[in-house]
Structure 1
Amino acid sequence: KKKTCLKGLYEEALIQFEKIEDTDFQAMYQLGVMHYDGLGTKEDPERGVEYMKKILYSDSPEARHLKFAAAYNLGRAYYEGCGVKQSTKEAERLWLIAADHGNPKASVKAQSTLGMLYSVSVLKDLKKAFFWHSEACGNGNLESQGALGVMYLYGQGIRRNTKSALECLREAAKRGNIYAQGHLVEYYYNRKFYSTAVAVAKRITENDDIDMLAKVTDCLPRYVAKGVAMAAFYLARCLQLGLGVQQDQAAAKKCYSKVTEDLLLLIHREKTGHIF
């Protein structure tokens, strides 16, 4: 019923936006998003891309405030190869435009995405990844705050700094970053703070709806799933060995099964082209 209601709202919005698209760049932007993602209309990524290009390459002052968002969305299209021919280099170029040297008024999402891009893709460069995650974190991005914590913890792109790592991870975890929470569980377990590791892991595994958690925190589902899997694994170890919690082989087995499910979900997401 809720989906039907939303569909009706999107369809009505589509009609209204189409009436003013020639004179209103905000309407043009919304139409681009709706056609690209199939909201209120049949999915048409090629058309969505065209709307974003019109905004990005427009000389009108009225389009200026939408250019960063349009460049980010075009970068996403090129990275995914959806609506255009796949090109990681073109995605990088567009995301660099959208990130605008770390400008807080630019696309902070693009800044964080560049951090991810330079961490895992063929363009891997951990120093660049650290730079962009630092910019995005400074501009309030939760995903990058967790990523910075991990980079400090393991000396990736920056000299290892446990104090800075824990500051980033704990603050990101407090704000709901599941990936950061999973790494804190691992940290506590490895330092034999078993009861703390168990307490944090239990909170993570109580709510394991990956897509819902990703939406609420605006973090990538892949990294949310990794955080949940890490928490489930160390909770299983503690339950199996009786570390910081009463030994419970049945509960441990259930947690190990959860780890397997999360890993299979990660593999599926990578095969179906989810970004990063």
Structure 2
Amino acid sequence: MFKKHFFFLVFLLFVPLTAVGEVLFPDPTGDSLNAAYSKTSRVELENQVEEGVPSAEYMMGMIYLSGDAAWGVQPDYKKAFSLFHRAWCDDVFDAGYALSTMYYKGLGVDKDLAKVRDFVLKSGENGYIKSQRTLGLAYKGDVLQSVFDKDIEKSIFWFEKAAVNGDQLSAANLSIIYGGDGVPRDEKKSFEWKKRAATAKYGNSQFVQFLKLAEFYEKGVGTDKDLVQAYKYYGLSGSAGVEGKQRVAKEMTQEQIDEALRQSKEWQKENNVQVGGGFIRRAN
């Protein structure tokens, strides 16, 4: 037993240990970052910056980037850039996206498109969702046209990475692409990515995705036609789905409508939300 432990300790002595970086705030909507701010103060963060705490460097960088009236901070791009650079050197991958943005816009530093490319790629490769989504958009030709050449295969690659990590907008973009935008139409893939977009972990357009998903079910695009699911998702879309709900209700039995209503209520209860707009019931 001693010999085994001794061998293991000797093995560790001769194996170099590399620092493992991290993504502090994977949520691309910014909600998790805002929640972190609510639990701290400017004084506390500034003290942590002095101590070299990477998360504090990044968070104060974000404050200086846009300013914060409540904290009495005016925008200061040079301070923001310095803090982001420190955080990046401390292996905070979130900072790579911020640095790429500053190099692209020339905020606190000279514009440098090569560094824009470098930072957004490195942060994306290390799991920062917003960089992955940006790369998907860039290779699709929607953003950073002066930095990246259009390449639909690379766009799909990066959108898939972001979508698998929970990004709603990336999943929605994949649904559009497989709908025939840049690649041959693949209705099954378009439906699957739209379904993923509707249930994605990170995003603020869930009810918009519900509306589109309802259309897939109503028309049987990439899936079997399912009026119960169509009615449910039109209902969960709120007022935007009223017309669609009325339309599919004309083809449904009362039992089907009741089932759609049951599933919708169950979803609302599980997700602690209430959707207005009412439900259509067939007249007897």
Which residue of 1 is the match for residue 254 of structure 2?
none
Contact 2:218 2:248 in 1 (8 A): no
Q: Which amino acid aligns with 1:19?
A: N
Using the alignment, how far apart are the partners of 1:25 and 1:12 within structure 2? Answer: 14
Equivalent residue for 2:61, pick from 32, 51, 55: 32
1:89-238 alignment, distance < 5 Å: 90-100=115-125, 103=126, 106-119=127-140, 120-121=142-143, 122=145, 123=148, 124-154=150-180, 156=182, 158-175=183-200, 178=206, 180-188=209-217, 197=230, 199-206=232-239, 232=240, 238=244
Q: Deviations over 1:66-93 (max 9, x none)?
A: 1x11111112334455444566664333
Using the alignment, how far apart are the partners of 2:217 and 2:106 within structure 1? Answer: 40
Equivalent residue for 1:14, pick from 29, 36, 42: 42
Which residue of 2 is the match for residue 49 of structure 1?
81
Q: Which amino acid aligns with 1:13?
A: S
Contact 2:191 2:216 in 1 (8 A): no
Q: Which amino acid aligns with 2:212?
A: H
Note the C-alpha offset of 1:184: 2.3
Note the C-alpha offset of 1:33: 1.6
Contact 1:149 1:180 in 2 (8 A): no
Equivalent residue for 1:23, pick from 25, 29, 51: 51
Q: TM-score when scaled to structure 1?
A: 0.57
Q: Structure 1 174/16 Cα, relative in aligned 2: closer, same or farther at 3 Å?
A: closer
Note the C-alpha offset of 1:146: 2.6
Using the alignment, how far apart are the partners of 1:186 and 1:52 within structure 2? Answer: 44
SS in 2 for 1:244: helix
Q: Deviations over 1:152-207 (max 9, x none)?
A: 23253x4432222222211321337535434324435655969665653442245x
| Structure 2 residue ranges without an equivalent (≥5) | 1-33, 251-284
Q: TM-score when scaled to structure 2?
A: 0.56
Using the alignment, how far apart are the partners of 2:181 and 2:118 within structure 1? Answer: 27
Q: Percent identity?
A: 23
Q: Structure 1 17/94 Cα, relative in aligned 2: closer, same or farther at 3 Å?
A: same
Note the C-alpha offset of 1:28: 1.9
Q: Deviations over 1:199-222 (max 9, x none)?
A: 53442245xxxxxxxxxxxxxxxx
Q: Which has the larger radius of gyration?
A: 2
Which residue of 2 is the match for residue 259 of structure 1?
none
Which residue of 1 is the match for residue 282 of structure 2?
none
Using the alignment, how far apart are the partners of 1:25 and 1:132 within structure 2? Answer: 30
Q: Deviations over 1:23-44 (max 9, x none)?
A: 3132222211221132422232
SS in 1 for 2:179: helix
Using the alignment, how far apart are the partners of 2:39 and 2:82 within structure 1? Answer: 20
Which residue of 1 is the match for residue 268 of structure 2?
none
Q: Tell me how large the CA RMSD over aligned residues is.
A: 3.5
Q: Deviations over 1:201-244 (max 9, x none)?
A: 442245xxxxxxxxxxxxxxxxxxxxxxxxx4x755x58xx733
Contact 2:194 2:213 in 1 (8 A): yes
Q: Structure 1 54/191 Cα, relative in aligned 2: closer, same or farther at 3 Å?
A: same
